[in-house]
Amino acid sequence: MRLTTERLLRRLALPLCLAGALFSPGAFAGAQVYAPLSASVRAVLQHSVSDQAAPKLVFNTRNEADIWLNEMSRRLQKRIPDAEYRIDLLSTVHYEANRAGLDPQLVLGLIEVESGFKKYAISVAGARGYMQVMPFWVKEIGATGHNLFHLRTNLRYGCTILRHYLNMENGDLYRALGRYNGSLGRPEYPNLVRAAWHNNWALPQRAADSGHRSADKG
| pLDDT range class, residue 205, cuts 50, 70, 90 | low
Give a yes or no: residue 55 inside a domain.
Answer: yes
| pLDDT range class, residue 218, cuts 50, 70, 90 | very low
What is the domain extent for residue 213? 5-9+20-217
More confident residue, 18 or 201: 201
The predicted model scores a pTM of 0.80
Q: What is the pLDDT of residues 117-139, one digit of tens each?
A: 999 999 999 999 999 999 999 99
Q: What is the pLDDT of residues 31-60, one digit of tens each?
A: 888 888 888 888 988 888 887 666 677 788
Angle between helices 39-50 and 151-168 (to 10 degrees): 150
Task: Calculate the alpha carbon distances from 107 to 34, 103, 112, 114 in Å.
Answer: 21, 7, 9, 10
Give a yes or no: residue 191 inside a domain.
Answer: yes
Q: Can you tell me the mean pLDDT for 191-197?
A: 97
Q: Where in 57-210 does DSSP place strands (E)?
A: 121-122
* Number of compact structural domains in the chain: 1
pLDDT > 70 in the chain, percent: 78
Give a yes or no: residue 45 inside a domain.
Answer: yes
Give me the CATH number covering residue 95. 1.10.530
Give a yes or no: residue 162 inside a domain.
Answer: yes
Give a yes or no: residue 15 inside a domain.
Answer: no
